[in-house]
Structure 1
Amino acid sequence: MFRFGEPLYLYLLIVLPVLAAFYFYSNYRRRKRLRLYGDPQLLKELMPDVSKYRPDVKFWLMLAALGMIIFMMARPQFGSKMETVKRQGIETVVALDISNSMLAEDVTPSRLDKSKKLISRLVEKFNNDKVAMIVFAGEAFTQLPITSDYISAKMFLESITPSLISTQGTDIAGAIDLAMKSFTPNEGVGRAIVLITDGENHEGGAIEAAQAAAKKGIRVFVLGVGSPDGSPIPVEGSNEFRRDKDGNVIVTRLNEQMCQEIAKAGGGIYVRVDNTNNAEKALNAEINKLAKADVETQVYTEFDEQFQVLAWLALLLLAAELMILNRKNPLFKNVNLFKQK
């Protein structure tokens, strides 16, 4: 496994394009000033020792060396030893509705974006727990298998959009069924399915699926996102709204009754998600009540530092930059590596 020991230093990489832009701008201004003195070809003949390409080569070598130094400061590491450890935790499968209706903006900034932020904060509070992510619309599929790698969970979360599933609809039953298959076979572990949806179930069977989960000791918590009053569905990349075949604007409404029935059948609670943090607090309180048991996790326990390679590369780049002169060396006047053909 590869990781950075000090990943915050990677933010310094933004300096590289800034320096490159400044260098290009400086070259442009320099060439513009030179043209004021006379014909560029004549100036070139009057200054035969001035190299057109060497300053560029020196700059790019220096910039590459700086990039190597920044990566070196971030401490790249490779995991060298993996062990199975036992920790006290629970298992949670998040099933997120990504149908087009989740683009509605009756919750700020949208139902889907609000849900993603809620999941992100939920994952941040996990400690020694396992999490999996399922996305669903007209069908359901596993976005992230159950894991204790929270960094990967948040990374996969960022990539979730309605375009991941071409089949539109809201198959809540299919999502719950898939979630039940996502848990590990460990005994005695508290298990929960966190279903996040606007409740517009088009396929049926959701209540029966939640009852089946409850019989297996899996609690189903339902977070209803949206407003019962409804909201139009924006068309991405435009100021238009989705319309039906008759040209009428489609209004999507939160089906709280459906959400409440699913939560009741699954032995969990229903919480409405609005523009406050109340839903997050209520969900965390319920999840903390779940029984924690020994959860086996494969983790890397030793990491080898890899900065030495980058240090040597930076040193070689700096040495090459120092050896290249800005002007042509008269000792090598017959050797011009930077001459245009």
Structure 2
Amino acid sequence: MLRFAHIDFLYGLAAIPVFIILFLVVSRWKKKAVASLGDKNVVREMMPHVSFSRPWLKFIFFILAYAMVIVGLSDPQLGSKTEEVKRKGADLMILLDVSNSMLAQDLAPNRLENAKQAIAQLIDKMHDDRIGIIVFAGQAYVQLPITTDYSAAKLFLSTINTNMVPTQGTAIGAAIDLGMQSFDFKNGTGKAMVIITDGENHEDNAVEAAKNARAKDVAVSVVGVGSANGAPIPIITDGRQTGFHTDSTGQQVISKLSEDMCKDISSAGGGVYVRANNSNSGLDIVMDQIGKMQRKMYDSKTYKDFEDRFQFFLAIAFALLLIEFFISNRKNMRLSGLKLFEVKKP
């Protein structure tokens, strides 16, 4: 099994497109500058030592080396074998709202990203408990089945966005029902759900679904994200904000936290309700309650004897940078003077 000890370093790969764009811009500017001097062939004769292809070759080696450094810093590790281990824990299912209203920015940077950061911090604190993730909008989907693989949980969490559920809405009840189907009730461990939402439920009877979960000893808690005053919902196109959602009259749609709905769900589910803000995600309070759940021994397969592989990537990066360093921007006149395939006229 492959895992990354410092997976956050992989975000550094996002700089590669920026480097490419900058290089293309500079190359285009140089090309225009050379063209302004006169005829291309005459200019080439005036600058016989200048190579127009070697900068591209040096840049390719640089990009490859940079990518290897980033991967090396993330410390890829390979698990050599698995073993059966006994764990004592409980099962926790996170139900995360990914409807468009979660893009509202009354929590920084927005409701969804704020919730994802809080979940990532929660995962870092977990030990033997199992965690799963369900995303929902107009429909609900299992993003991550119940697992003790916290590295995989953070990786799946990082990919969550509002585009992954095609049907808009906030079907909290469907998410609760799907969470109940995802639990293994035969293992006897304590079970709980944490719903992270702005509470704008318009699809189903979430309170009834929470009651059904409580009847099977599954506590349903709710973390409300958003504010009572609300905020407009941004329109994101190709990663950029291009405006705000409006209603049929042209007025901006203001998304507000529906605390009454959140409180009704948590009350019916036998859990707690906490309102998140910029300084407190509310998950710590919820986890204090979940910490009281019954924990039982269960079997789990886990990888062990993970071995670091960062040194291979850093060695490759060093070799690529060494090659790039010795590639000159100027032509080698001795080599360029060799005309091995020129046919001499008699």
Give the TM-score band, short-chain normalised.
0.7 to 0.9
After superposition, the C-alpha distances for 1:296-337 in whole angstroms (9 at most, x for unaligned) are 33322134555558747965995798699951335971248x
- Seen in structure 2, the aligned counterparts of structure 1 residues 17 and 136 have a Cα distance that, compared at 3 Å, is closer
Matches of 2:86 and 2:128, distance apart in 1: 9
Q: The residue matched to 2:168 in structure 1 has which SS?
A: coil
Unpaired runs of at least 5, structure 1:
337-341
Distance apart, 1:250 and its partner CA: 3.5
In the alignment, does 2:332 pair up with 1:333? no
Taking the aligned partners of 1:330 and 1:247, their CA distance within structure 2 comes to 69
Give the Å deviation of 1:116: 2.2
- In 1: Cα distance, 2:308 partner to 2:67 partner: 15
- The CA deviation at 1:269 is 1.0
The 1:328/1:3 distance shift into structure 2, 3 A limit, reads farther
Structure 1 residues 294 and 254, CA, compared in 2 at 3 Å: closer, same or farther? same
Q: Over aligned residues, Cα RMSD in angstroms?
A: 4.1
Q: Which amino acid aligns with 1:52?
A: S
Structure 2 Cα separation of the partners of residues 230 and 17 of structure 1: 35
Rounded to whole Å, the distance in 1 between the matches of 2:7 and 2:196 is 32
Distance 2:230 2:9 in 1: 45
Relative distance call for 1:264 and 1:16 in structure 2 (3 A) is closer
**Distance in 2 (alpha carbons) for counterparts of 1:125 and 1:40:** 64
Alpha-carbon deviations, 1:268-317, whole Å to 9, x = none? Answer: 11112233316233113112222232243332213455555874796599
Maintained 8 Å contact 1:54/1:326: no
Partner of 1:78: 78
Give the corresponding residue for 1:132: 132
SS at match of 1:3: strand
**Deviation of 1:213 (Å):** 1.3
Seen in structure 2, the aligned counterparts of structure 1 residues 208 and 64 have a Cα distance that, compared at 3 Å, is closer
Structure 1 pair 123/56, CA: closer, same or farther in 2 (3 Å)? same
Given candidates 245, 258, 262, the residue that maps to 1:255 is: 258
Match of 1:238 in 2: 242
Q: What is the aligned counterpart of 1:275 among 273, 278, 287?
A: 278
Q: Tell me which residue corresponds to 2:180.
A: 180
- Cα 1:127/1:44, change in 2 over 3 Å: same
2:303 corresponds to which of 291, 300, 305? 300
Matched position secondary structure for 1:238: strand
Preserved CA contact (<8 Å) 1:93 1:194:
yes
Trace 1:37-186 onto structure 2 (pairs within 5 A).
Answer: 41=41, 44-45=44-45, 50=49, 52=51, 55-56=54-55, 59-60=58-59, 63=62, 66-67=65-66, 70=69, 71=71, 75-185=75-185
8 A Cα contact 1:9 1:73, kept in partner: yes
After TM superposition, the score normalised by the length of structure 1 is 0.77
Matches within 5 A, 1:26-37: none
CA distance in 2, matches of 1:73, 1:226: 36
Q: Aligned partner of 1:120: which letter?
A: A
SS in 2 for 1:227: coil
The answer to whether structure 1 residue 198 and structure 2 residue 210 are counterparts is no
Q: Aligned-pair distance for 1:146? A: 1.6
Distance in 1, matches of 2:148 and 2:335, equals 63
Q: Is 2:222 the partner of 1:217?
A: no
Classify 1:170/1:7 alpha carbon distance in 2 versus 1 (closer, same or farther; 3 Å).
closer
Quote the offset at 1:266 in angstroms. Answer: 1.4
Q: Classify the secondary structure of the residue corresponding to 1:144.
A: strand
- The aligned length equals 333
1:284 paired with 2:287, answer yes
When residues 3 and 214 of structure 1 are mapped into structure 2, their CA distance, relative to the original with a 3 A threshold, is same
The SS at the match of 1:269 is: strand
Residues 302 and 226 of structure 1, relative CA distance in 2, 3 Å threshold:
same
- Choose 269-278 or 229-238, whichever is displaced more: 229-238
Q: Is the Cα–Cα contact under 8 Å of residues 16 and 63 in structure 1 kept in the other structure?
A: no
TM-superposed CA distance for 1:206, in Å, is 1.8
Q: CA deviation at 1:93?
A: 0.6
The alpha-carbon deviation at position 95 of structure 1 amounts to: 0.7
- Report the TM-score when normalising by structure 2: 0.76
CA shift for structure 1 position 16: 11
- Which amino acid in the other structure matches residue 334 of structure 1? K
Task: Verify the 8 A CA contact 1:65 1:315 in the aligned structure 2.
Answer: no
